[in-house]
Amino acid sequence: MAVETHLPYDKQYVTEYSEKRNEPTWFKDIRLKAFDLAEELPMPKLEKTRIRNWNFTNFKHDVAGNNIESFDELPEKIRVLRGEGVEDRNLIVVRNSDVAYAKLSENLKAKGVIFEDIFTAMEEHSDLVQKYFMQDGVSVDENKLTARHAALLNSGVFLYVPKNVVVDEPIQVVFWQEDNEAALYNHVLLVADQHSQVTYVENYVSNNEEEETVANTVSEVFALDGAKVSYGAVDNFAKGTTSYVNRRGTVGRDATLEWALGQMNDGNTISENITNLMGDNSLSHAKAVTVGRGNQSQDFTANIRHYGKDSEGYILQHGVMKDRASSIFNGIGKVENGATRSNAEQESRVLMLSEGARGDANPILLIDEDDVTAGHAASVGRVDPLQLFYLMSRGISQQEAERLVIHGFLDPVVREIPIETVQKQLREVIEGKVY
Amino acid sequence: MAGSTLEIKDLHVEIEGEEILKGVNLTINGGEFHAVMGPNGTGKSTLASAIMGHPKYEITKGEVLLDGEDVLEMEVDERAQAGLFLAMQYPSEISGVTNSDFLRSSINAQREEGNEIPLMQFIKEMDKTMDQLEIDKNMAQRYLNEGFSGGEKKRNEILQLMMLKPAIGVLDEIDSGLDIDALKVVSQGINQMRDDKFGCLIITHYQRLLDYITPDHVHVMMQGRVVKSGGPELAQRLEAEGYDWIKEELGIDDETVGQKA
C-alpha cells in the first residue's frame, strides 16, 4: 500500500481554523500562502535517510485540551517535570494544543517580559510577533514540511525578554500530547532583546505507542546584540509520532546562544538545529544527545554558520544506538567569507550497543575564509572493552559498568540541561531507553 | 586465618595467538610482599593482567586459585569481589563518571545490598586517604582518570587500593612515571597496607621502588617464566649488577618473549 502523501485537510479548513482563532490577517495570509506552497514544495532532502514511507499525513489536527484549576490536577509524569517546592516557576503547560496552565511572575511582567501562547501573543503583541515569525529564522518556503508547519500551526509559545532585562529564574514549557492522535504543529518564538539574559527549557511528551500522529515543531530563537540565551529541551515523543523538528538560532554581536538538546523520541525523527552566528564575537554551543532503540530511524543535523568576525561555534553530538535503530549525525560548520578569526569546532560520537544498530557520523566543514580555526572529531564504535575491564576489576558488574560508561558518554550534554528536575527526568528517560 | 592465598600454577597465556607466559608458578600468602622483576618484554605485565582477567589475554593452560577457588572461572567483577585488586599500568579514562562516584560504586559493589557505605563515612575516608597520598581534593569530582597526568593516575590507583582493601593486591609498574617524591608518598601508602591479611604482588622494572617497599620475596621473570627467586638480597644484587649474570648463569641469550609484552 502506498503511503498517503496528501494532507487530510484542505484550504477551506485552514481558513476556518484561522477565523475560529481570530487570528490577525497577516497570519491568516501566511497560512493560506503556506498551504499552497506545501502542495508544490518537495519534502526536505536528506542525504542518507529514507523518509518516503514515514507517516506525515495521518493525524488529527484540532484536538482541544482541557484547562485545569490547579497544577496538582496534572498527571504525575507531567508534574515531575516542574518538581516540588517551585510553585512560582514561570511555566506553561500545553495540553494537546491548548494552554492548560500558565504562570509568569508579576516581577517579570512588570519588567516587560512576555511569556504566553502564540495565539494570545498574536492578538496582544501582533507587531512584535509578525516581525520575527518565520522571517529571518526558519522560512515558510524551505520545504513541504516548513510550509505545512505554517499552514497548520496549532500550538506555540512566545517569549520576549526586553532590553537589559536579566531573567534569573528558568522559564519552562511542557508540551503534553495527551491525545494519542493529536498532531502538534508547534511554534516557539523566543526573542531576547539586546543585553538581556534568559534560560528556557521545554519538554515534549506523548504516549502514543500504537496510534500514529505527527509532530512538526519549529523553534526560532533570536539572541540580539549582547544577549545570552540558554535553551534546553527534552524531546520525548512516543513511538507512534513522526517528528520533524527545526530549531534555529540567530545570534547577534557579542551574543551567546547555548543549546542543550535531549533528543529522546521513540519514533522516526528528523531534527535540525541550525545556528546563524550573525554578529561579530558571537558564540554558540550546540550540544545534543540521543538514544535510539527499536526500529526507529533518525536524522540529526547540527549546523553552525559563521557570518560575524571572531564568532565561535562548537557542536557536540553524542548518540547511543541499540536494537535495530539507525541514526545519521550530520555536523556542519560553515564559515562565510568575511568571518575572519572564527572558530568552528565539532565532535560527533556514536556508541553502538547491538549488532543490528546503525550509526553514521558525518563531519562537514565548509570554509570560505582564510583566517579561521576549525576542527572536527567523529567516531562510531562499541563500548570499549578495556573500560569495562577497568570498572569490573573494581567489582562493578558488567551491566553496571556499561551503564556507567553510557551515562558518562551522554553526560556532557545532560548536565547542561538548565533545570535540575528536567535533567533528572532526562536521566530517567535514558535509563529507560537503554535498559 | 591470616589472610588469603593466591596460587599461580603452571600458567600459560597467549595474546593474539602468541604465547607470552610459558608456565609461571608463584604463591602469595596474606602478609607477604612479593616483587616480580625483570627486563622489559619478559611477561611481567601479562602476568598481572591475566590474573585479573584482561579481555585480550587467553589462558591456555594452568591454574590461578584464590583460597582454593578457581579464579579463571570467575568474571572480572567476581575476581574483585573475591578479594583481588589490580593497580593498572595504564588505567582507562572514563568520561562523565566522577572519581568519587566510581570509588563509591566500587566499594558498594563489594558490600552486601542494604549494607552500602554511608555517604559521610565514605567522604571522610576518601578525604583522609587523599591527604595521605597528597592528592588534590578536586580530583574527587574530576572524571575518572580523564586528563590525569601519569603520576595522578598512579596515585589514583593506590587510592583505590587503600579504599577497597583487597586480600591480594597486584601492582603493575606502579612506580613508572613517578618522580622520587611521588614514589615516596605512594610507597608509604602501600606500606601502610601491610598486615597479615594483605598479600601483595609488586611488578616492577626498577629496583628503586624496592628502596621504599621491602619485599619478602623477589622473583625474576625471563622468557615468560620465573627463572630465579630469592629474598630482598636478590633485588639488591640486581640493582648492583643488572640482569646479565642471571642470563649467563641460565644460558639465556634473549630474555624477552613474543614481539613485545
How many contacts, defined by CB atoms under 8 Å, are there between A and B?
A: 82
Percent of chain A with pLDDT over 70: 99
Beta carbons of A412 and B96 less than 8 Å apart? yes
In A, minimum Cα distance to B103 occurs at: A394
| Best mutation target, A386, A394, A402, A414, to test chain B (most B CBs within 10 A) | A394
Q: Write down the pLDDT at residue A158.
A: 98
Q: Tens digits of per-residue pLDDT, A267-282?
A: 999 999 999 999 999 9
Confidence of residue A7 (pLDDT cuts 50, 70, 90): confident
Q: Tens digits of per-residue pLDDT, A295-312?
A: 999 999 999 999 999 999
Q: Tens digits of per-residue pLDDT, A382-405?
A: 999 999 999 999 999 999 999 999
| Best mutation target, B15, B49, B77, to test chain A (most A CBs within 10 A) | B77
Q: Distance from CA of residue A126 to its chain's centroid? A: 24
**Residue A135 region, left (φ>0) first, then alpha (ψ -120 to 50), else beta?**
alpha
Indicate if the pLDDT at residue A49 is higher than 70: yes
Indicate if the pLDDT at residue A357 is higher than 80: yes
B19-24 mean pLDDT: 96
SS3 A28: helix
Note which residues in 80-99 of chain B have CB less than 8 A from chain A: 80-81, 85-86, 88, 91-92, 94-97
Indicate if the pLDDT at residue A2 is higher than 80: no
A319 CA: distance to closest CA in chain B (Å): 14
> Can you tell me the ipTM of this complex?
0.96
In B, minimum Cα distance to A395 occurs at: B77
Confidence of residue B106 (pLDDT cuts 50, 70, 90): very high
Q: With b meaning 16 or more CB within 10 Å and e meaning fewer, what string describes A177-209? A: bbbbbbbbbbbbbbbbbbbbbbbbbbbbbbbbe
Residue with C-alpha cell 501573543?
Answer: A121
The secondary structure of residue A71, as a DSSP letter, is G
- Find out whether A407 and A429 touch, Cβ atoms under 8 Å: no
Confidence of residue A5 (pLDDT cuts 50, 70, 90): confident
The answer to whether residue B164 neighbours chain A at the CB level (below 8 Å) is yes
- Find out whether A320 and A409 touch, Cβ atoms under 8 Å: yes
- Find out whether B153 and B91 touch, Cβ atoms under 8 Å: yes
B101 CA: distance to closest CA in chain A (Å): 10
Residues of B in contact with A412 (CB under 8 A): 95-96
Facing residue for B106 by CB, picked from A384, A387, A396: A396
Beta carbons of B77 and A404 less than 8 Å apart? no
Q: Distance from CA of residue B8 to its chain's centroid? A: 15
Confidence of residue A435 (pLDDT cuts 50, 70, 90): confident
Q: What's the CA gap between A422 and A403, in Å, rounded? A: 20
Torsion of CA A58, A62, A96, A272, to 10 degrees: 50
Q: Tens digits of per-residue pLDDT, A317-345?
A: 999 999 999 999 999 999 999 999 999 99
A239 against B110, higher pLDDT: A239
Q: Tens digits of per-residue pLDDT, B121-158?
A: 999 999 999 999 999 999 999 999 999 999 999 999 99
Indicate if the pLDDT at residue B258 is higher than 80: no
B85-96 mean pLDDT: 95
Q: Tens digits of per-residue pLDDT, B168-181?
A: 999 999 998 889 99
B237 CA: distance to closest CA in chain A (Å): 35
Q: What's the CA gap between A290 and A390, in Å, rounded? A: 26
All cell numbers assigned to A429: 528517560
Q: Tens digits of per-residue pLDDT, A176-231?
A: 999 999 999 999 999 999 999 999 999 999 999 999 999 999 999 999 999 999 99
A172 CA: distance to closest CA in chain B (Å): 26
Task: Write the CB contacts of A107 (distance below 8 Å, at least 6 apart in sequence).
Answer: none
Beta carbons of B92 and A386 less than 8 Å apart? yes
Q: Tens digits of per-residue pLDDT, A238-253?
A: 999 999 999 999 999 9
Closest CA relative to residue B166, chosen from B132, B126, B193, B202 = B193
A285 against B259, higher pLDDT: A285
| pTM across the whole model | 0.86
Q: Write down the pLDDT at residue B154.
A: 95
Mean pLDDT of all residues belonging to chain B? 94
Q: DSSP characters for A370-406?
A: SSEEEEEEEEEEEPPHHHHHHHHTTT--HHHHHHHHH
Facing residue for A385 by CB, picked from B55, B81, B106: B55
Q: Write down the pLDDT at residue B259.
A: 60
The answer to whether residue B165 neighbours chain A at the CB level (below 8 Å) is no
B240-259 mean pLDDT: 89
Report the DSSP pairing between strands B199-204 and B168-172.
parallel
Q: Tens digits of per-residue pLDDT, A74-118?
A: 999 999 999 888 889 999 999 998 999 999 999 999 999 999 999
Residues of A in contact with B94 (CB under 8 A): 387, 390-391, 404-405, 408
Going from the C-alpha of B129 to that of each of A114, A131, A236, B125, B202, the distances in angstroms are 54, 62, 43, 6, 21
Closest CA relative to residue A216, chosen from A289, A280, A268, A293 = A268
Give the number of C-alpha atoms closer than 13 A to the C-alpha of residue A105, restricted to the C-beta side: 14
Confidence of residue B239 (pLDDT cuts 50, 70, 90): confident
Q: What's the CA gap between A295 and B139, in Å, rounded? A: 41
Beta carbons of A393 and B85 less than 8 Å apart? yes
Confidence of residue A144 (pLDDT cuts 50, 70, 90): very high
**Other C-beta atoms lying within 10 Å of the C-beta of residue A22:** 10
The secondary structure of residue A142, as a DSSP letter, is G
Q: Write down the pLDDT at residue B74.
A: 97
Q: Tens digits of per-residue pLDDT, A117-138?
A: 999 999 999 999 999 999 999 9
Indicate if the pLDDT at residue B208 is higher than 90: no
Q: Write down the pLDDT at residue B261.
A: 40
In A, minimum Cα distance to B146 occurs at: A408
Q: Write down the pLDDT at residue A3.
A: 62
Mean pLDDT of all residues belonging to chain A? 95
In B, minimum Cα distance to A386 occurs at: B92
Q: Write down the pLDDT at residue A1.
A: 43
Q: Write down the pLDDT at residue B205.
A: 82
